[in-house]
Amino acid sequence: MTSPWVVFLLALSAATSALDNGLMRTPPMGWLAWERFRCDIDCENDPKNCISENLFRDMADRLAEDGWRELGYVYINIDDCWASKQRDSQGRLQPDPQRFPGGIAKLARYVHDRGLKLGIYGDLGTFTCMGYPGTTLDRIDTDAQTFAEWGIDMLKLDGCYSNATVQEQGYPLMSKALNATGRPIGYSCSWPAYQGGLPPKVNYTQLGQICNLWRNYGDIQDSWDSVLNIVDWFSTNQDVLQPAAGPGRWNDPDMLIIGDFGLSLDQSRAQMALWAIMAAPLFMSNDLRTLSSEARVILQNKAVISINQDQMGIQGRCLLKEKSGIEVFWRPLSNSASALVFFSRRTDMPYRYTTSLGKLNCTAGTYMVYDVFLEKLLPELNDSKDFTVSINPTGVVMWYLWPLPAPQEVRERGGVYPDFRRKYRVSSRKGQPGGLGSPFVL
């Protein structure tokens, strides 16, 4: 897409040391309870939707049986409100006995038996955000060991009812404590979100050494305005945030709300595309039991997932913002490929946006173009040739591009492009992937 030298510098900037637990080398994917189910604990009157072991078993069944697990959605993450209001006689956290009568360890076995992983929520403070027992500094080792004994695979550690001094001590201490258990537990830190998300208060080099992912900004809400607010903050601060991300350490703009109530179909595609460009964790927060077919198609789009899961792990960037309300985002991918998103902030009508790859600082040459949401190859495109894309209001057009001739590795694979090696096979023409008009096939 752009010069090899620029891509090299981006990769170099993303090569700082990461938490040495070997986990989450690509952005983690799964399902998270909070945005959709919040702190509903009324199991007597709302048994299907309350925070209980039944809810998490239901969602585990859906991930395992409805094709999500095979696409990479493997985490089932409990959020706040799971615990009893009191620790046990040994000072250990314990689940609410009415809502989790089988205990967390039994729930973890249920999740693991389905080829999935279980995440849990804690808070580095006297209380969680909703008033349940927190993890004070003197409880860190105990709670880390408890989570490991239960079979937990990921911990999200919030920061309510704490302060900057406690956070500065506690987040690194929990990282050490989790590693000391001997169980591989992915670690999600909310630390930067409580310190404004930016230097000098936030040290992203240090974060990359102690956490696998971190919340930079405020919670997402089920609205288009909330999505835009997050995208704007990440774009405005991309020069700070982009170098911080990489394999094993990810900026987290929060959950996918696709399939809930606040986004249109076009807005849902836009969130999915922009989260993929940002190399964001893909944690759905919706009801998988009643999810619409339209939302499922977006969330299970294999090309978008392949872009999100690219092995290089370089976070994408906003290239430009036009006065017309069109914005262009770009992410470099493995094997000289790249992803482009044309995003419309307009609310009136589809907008026909004309540009060229050359105007977007593309290296001179000819490119194959795959339209991610139309799911088809487009005609080959030369960098100097103008093209026009029609973008729906609050929608996106997303392209996967790679230069011709194909890299040697692709030709040696008989036309299988590495980024699609588990998802797609491309018919070849003269040793190149995907001759003009040829389809991706499963």
Enumerate helices (H) and strands (E) in the chain, giving the number of each: 14, 20
40 labelled catalytic: no
Which residues are registered as beta bridge partners of 77? Answer: 32, 119
The separation between CA 105 and the C-alpha centre of its own chain, rounded to angstroms, equals 26
Distance CA 308, CA 311 (A): 9
- Number of other CB atoms surrounding residue 403 within 10 Å: 20
Q: Tokens representing 212? A: 């696998």
The whole-angstrom distance between residue 156's C-alpha and the CA centroid of its chain comes to: 14
| Catalytic residue (choose from 40, 219, 222, 371) | 219
DSSP state of 256: B
Residue 46 is a catalytic residue: no
**Greatest extent of the chain over all pairs of C-alpha atoms, in Å:** 72
Given the residues 79, 123, 153, 158, the one annotated as active site: 158
| Helix then strand then coil, % of the chain, to nearest 5 | 30, 20, 45
Q: In which residue are the tokens 């993929």 written?
A: 276
Q: Which residue has the tokens 């003009």?
A: 436
Cα–Cα distance list, 35 to 64, 191, 228, 290 (Å): 21, 19, 17, 16
Q: Please list, residue by residue across 406-420, b when 16 or more beta carbons sit within 10 angstroms of its beta carbon and e when fewer do.
A: bbeebbebebbbbbb
The DSSP output letter for 138 is G
What does the alpha-carbon distance between residue 207 and residue 191 come to, in Å, rounded to a whole number? 9
Task: Please state, as a whole number, how many other Cβ atoms lie within 10 Å of the Cβ of residue 402.
Answer: 25
Beta bridge partners of 396: 343
Range 371-386 burial, b when 16+ CB lie within 10 A, else e:
ebbeeebbebbbbeee
Query: Both tokens of residue 384?
Result: 């100097």
What's the distance, Cα to Cα, between the start and end of the chain in Å? 26
Q: Which residues are known to be catalytic?
A: 158, 219
